[in-house]
Amino acid sequence: MLDEATVRFALERHLRRELGNEVGIDGFERKSSGFSWITYSFVARAVGGISRKLILRVGPPKGLFAPYSVLPQVHALQSLSGTGVPVPELVSFDPDGSDLGCPFFVCEHVEGDVPVPWAGSRLSEEHRRDIAGQFIAILGELHKLDWREMELASLHAESGERDEVRAIAGWCTSLARPTARYYPLLDWGGRWLLDNCPLPPRRTIVHGDYRIGNFLERERRITAILDWELVHLGDPHEDLAWALMPTFNGRSRKLYGVLERDEVIDHYQRASGIEISAKSLAYYEAFALYQAAAIQMRAVRAFEVDHFNDMRMAVMASQMASIVRAFDRALEAAA
The pLDDT score that the predictor gives to residue 305 is: 75
Q: Helix, strand, or coil here: 63?
A: coil
Please check whether residues 130 and 9 belong to one and the same domain: no
Please check whether residues 168 and 234 belong to one and the same domain: yes
Could you give the percent of the chain with pLDDT greater than 70? 95
The contacts of residue 216 (CB under 8 Å, 6+ apart) are: 110, 111, 112, 113, 114, 222, 223, 224, 226
The CA-based dihedral angle spanning residues 61, 63, 66, 69, taken in that order and rounded to the nearest 10 degrees:
-80
Please check whether residues 102 and 132 belong to one and the same domain: no
Please check whether residues 239 and 90 belong to one and the same domain: no
Band (pLDDT 50/70/90 cuts) for residue 303 is confident
pLDDT for residue 121 is more than 70: no
The pLDDT score that the predictor gives to residue 119 is: 57
Please check whether residues 221 and 312 belong to one and the same domain: yes
User: Closest by alpha carbon to 228, among 59, 115, 61, 113?
Assistant: 59
Query: CATH code at 93?
Result: 3.30.200.20
Please check whether residues 189 and 221 belong to one and the same domain: yes
The pLDDT score that the predictor gives to residue 1 is: 62
pTM (whole model) above 0.75: yes
Report the number of distinct structural domains present in the chain.
2
DSSP letter for each residue of 184-206: HHHHHHHHHHHHTPPPPSS-EEE
Please check whether residues 84 and 121 belong to one and the same domain: no
- Rounded CA-CA distance 241/33 in Å is 26
Domain closes at, from 84, 108, 132? 108
Please check whether residues 92 and 54 belong to one and the same domain: yes
Please check whether residues 14 and 41 belong to one and the same domain: yes
Q: Mean of the pLDDT values across residues 103-129?
A: 86
Please check whether residues 92 and 168 belong to one and the same domain: no
Task: Express each pLDDT in 225-270 by its tens digit.
Answer: 999 999 999 999 999 999 999 989 988 999 999 999 999 999 999 9
pLDDT for residue 47 is more than 90: no
Mean pLDDT of the chain: 91
Domain closes at, from 108, 143, 170? 108
pLDDT for residue 222 is more than 80: yes
- Name the residue range of residue 103's domain: 4-108
